[in-house]
Chains A and B, each alone.
Chain A
């Protein structure tokens, strides 16, 4: 679920200026559990990749959130997104930046806080990519490939392609010679560019932004197929936390980020235009796919 976010961090890891993972930043704002009279801090976790490699973004985000919410902010890191999702669902985090697919999976336990906007819209696409120069027209030409997925919990890096194959009556382990999970959208691009994998499923937002940031790498791949527009990975909180003052402060801070110079700086690093108030309908497309694959996965 938070896998999309993780893969975006992988982008950020190589580029300080850019937090590709912004869209699904597993920024878990944990409910303060500090004892005593001190105001409880907001806790959110980030992937180690993110922490180690983009201090600039991290600092900027922390500074902005502390200033905008009035709370101290603690960064909580876990090794996997699965752990972050678990923390979120169990109410140990105030909020988390997760992907659309886990959001739909845990819809009953989660509440949306905000949706990032890319180019002014809360939507993105999944890309099916192959090596530049390869003469393939559609997914049927990819038979026998080593295919790179991003993560089994990823919408754009797994679910979309898996649904497409389902529609064609294809089974990944039979149709492809081998499938890989690279646990990062940037890694999918690297795998395809290096020819370790002959094709891959990747977040379109990551691919487009990386084309700008790392043209040498990304131009070694080309987009074979673009999916329909799907809801951008959202910021969510647990249903138990929904509607609390802390969550509302956080929501306000996110939605007003674009109007704040400090927030603008963070958004520039993420190549986002801002955060919007949640719209459940944005995730209908993903929900539809999950419904169709029910019983298959």
Chain B
């Protein structure tokens, strides 16, 4: 398994030659086996024919002596008939009676006359068919001596087949060397060919890696693939892809901006409502002042009412301004940002009968260098999403707390839990393109998180609901310095 994974990790430039060499090895193993097998049977046939002609001669010569059991004549004949001008020589020849009593042998010391040939010795000899023993390089053959259709004796011969086995070894080593040389050659050719073949792929890969790092560049088709139409088409397709991606990204940016404006419009209407709500009271107070301004008690009460009403309007306007302040006017995140968020959300919450609990566990302050604008935008989007996801009358919370070197901001809802698509959008791989359909608000959150380098986690809220947690650490990009 790991080997397979390791193999897959191997670059293509090595994988193909490796496959070629494995294939060559298999092919050469099969060929070698076939050649040696064929050679072996040819040699066996050759040896058998030599042995047969030798035994034909010996048998014809010694038959009368075997009939007379004349050990000397048999021995003398064996000595005289011993071939000398051939590479395949009989090492031992033993002549016995049909009951395997030795009459004579070329080496009487090893096989004494009149001794019974034991089963171990005779067992080495297969019947009529020659047998080559590769261990000692000897070949064994037994044959009956037949005279007038009667078996009058047996002849056992041991041939020296070492030369044949040496030939076989020579063939084997030649095959191995040749195949090894061919394999090396083919592997080299394979490496060069594959390198040449995958060069366009590498170009493409490099450009894709660059693109993934956000530094996408077009491939110079005329230079990289001047003649090859296939590669040329591939590169052109990549360039087209790049163009399409660029267009989509521009569209996304535009849409995000539009979404921002859309939420601004929604909030503006809320704000108008917020301003309009006290406005009736304020106008009444002005009328009251006009009519009963002389009355000190009425005047003071009316002025107080006017003061609070205008202050409320002022708060709303300030909060809206702060949220949609251009980036260059950004300031560091502060606790007021969370108060503003709550206030901006309050009409939405009120309309749904929901309660937002603001938990600020930040001690003396945030002391976080994070830019307020994007964080506010993200928090408002999360709160809007939390409110929409939660049922009527639900209790939501917005919590900001110091943790380690940074700040943690949490938004909790009472919804049924984030859908898988939203989870993917928030925590999955970065996507620069707009999601289809809903979820634009969360996509904006994700874009902001990625832009400022913050962390985002999801958790389940005790008692039901979800928690979205933003971690603003020291690594978070502070735009304040530039903005100042």
Residues of chain A having any CB pair with chain B under 8 Å: 146, 148, 177-178, 180-182, 187, 190-191, 194-197
Contacts and interface: CB of A to CB of B under 8 A. Distances in A.
Nearest to B106: A194
B69 to A, nearest CB: 9
A204 B437 CA distance: 127
A195 B70 contact: no
A194 B114 contact: no
Contacts of A197: 72
Contacts of A177: 114
A180 B109 contact: no
A195 B72 contact: no
B72 A148 contact: yes
B75 A191 contact: yes
B76 interface: yes
A195 B71 contact: no
Contact of A146 (B76, B107, B109, B114): B114
Contact of A178 (B71, B75, B108): B71
A182 B108 CA distance: 15
A137 to B, nearest CB: 22
Contact of B108 (A181, A187, A196): A196
B453 interface: no
A180 B76 CA distance: 12
B113 interface: yes
Interface in B93-113: 104, 107-109, 112-113
Contacts of B109: 194-195
Nearest to A194: B108
B75 A146 contact: no
A195 B113 CA distance: 9
A180 B72 contact: yes
A177 B101 CA distance: 14
A146 B109 CA distance: 13
Interface string B24-41: 000000000000000000
Contacts of B79: 190
A178 B113 contact: yes
Q: Which 5 A-B pairs have the closest CB atoms?
A: A196-B108, A180-B72, A195-B108, A182-B72, A195-B109
Nearest to B70: A180
B112 A182 contact: no
Contacts of B113: 146, 178, 196
Contact of A187 (B76, B104, B112): B76
A191 B79 CA distance: 11
A196 B114 contact: no
A178 B72 contact: no
A194 B75 contact: yes
Contacts of A190: 76, 79
A177 B108 CA distance: 16
B71 to A, nearest CB: 6
A201 to B, nearest CB: 13
Contacts, number: 34
A191 B78 CA distance: 13
Interface in B42-90: 70-72, 75-76, 79
Interface of B: 70-72, 75-76, 79, 104, 107-109, 112-114
25 contacts: A146-B71, A148-B72, A178-B71, A178-B113, A178-B114, A180-B70, A180-B72, A181-B72, A182-B72, A182-B76, A187-B72, A187-B76, A190-B76, A191-B72, A194-B75, A194-B107, A194-B108, A194-B109, A195-B108, A195-B109, A195-B112, A196-B72, A196-B75, A196-B104, A197-B72
A195 B114 CA distance: 12
Contacts of B76: 182, 187, 190
Between B79, B108, B109, the greatest number of chain A beta carbons within 10 A of the residue's beta carbon is seen for: B108
B94 to A, nearest CB: 12
B416 to A, nearest CB: 108
Nearest to A177: B114
Nearest to A146: B113
Nearest to B79: A190
Contacts of A181: 72
A197 B113 CA distance: 8
Contacts of A194: 75, 107-109
Contacts of B70: 180
A128 B113 CA distance: 20
A209 B270 CA distance: 144
A197 B74 CA distance: 13
Nearest to A178: B114
A178 B70 CA distance: 10
A181 B70 CA distance: 9
Contacts of B71: 146, 178, 180, 196
Given A146-B114, A194-B108, A196-B104, 12 more contacts: A146-B71, A178-B71, A178-B114, A180-B70, A180-B71, A180-B72, A182-B76, A187-B72, A190-B79, A195-B108, A196-B71, A196-B113
A119 B112 CA distance: 38
A132 to B, nearest CB: 13
A190 B108 CA distance: 11
Nearest to B76: A187
A148 B76 CA distance: 13
Contacts of B108: 194-196
A196 B110 CA distance: 10
A178 B112 CA distance: 13
Nearest to B109: A195
Report which residue of A148, A190, A196, A197 has the largest number of chain B beta carbons within 10 angstroms of its beta carbon.
Answer: A196
A175 B72 CA distance: 19
Nearest to A196: B108
Most buried by B among A148, A177, A197: A197
A200 to B, nearest CB: 10
A190 B72 CA distance: 10
A180 B71 CA distance: 7
Contacts of B114: 146, 177-178
A196 B109 CA distance: 7
A180 B104 CA distance: 12
A197 B73 CA distance: 12
A217 to B, nearest CB: 12
A91 B112 CA distance: 46
Contacts of B75: 191, 194, 196
B76 to A, nearest CB: 7
Contacts of B112: 195
A182 B112 CA distance: 17
Contacts of A180: 70-72
A47 to B, nearest CB: 15
B95 to A, nearest CB: 12
Contacts of A195: 108-109, 112
B387 to A, nearest CB: 118
Nearest to A184: B76
A196 B108 CA distance: 5
Nearest to B75: A196
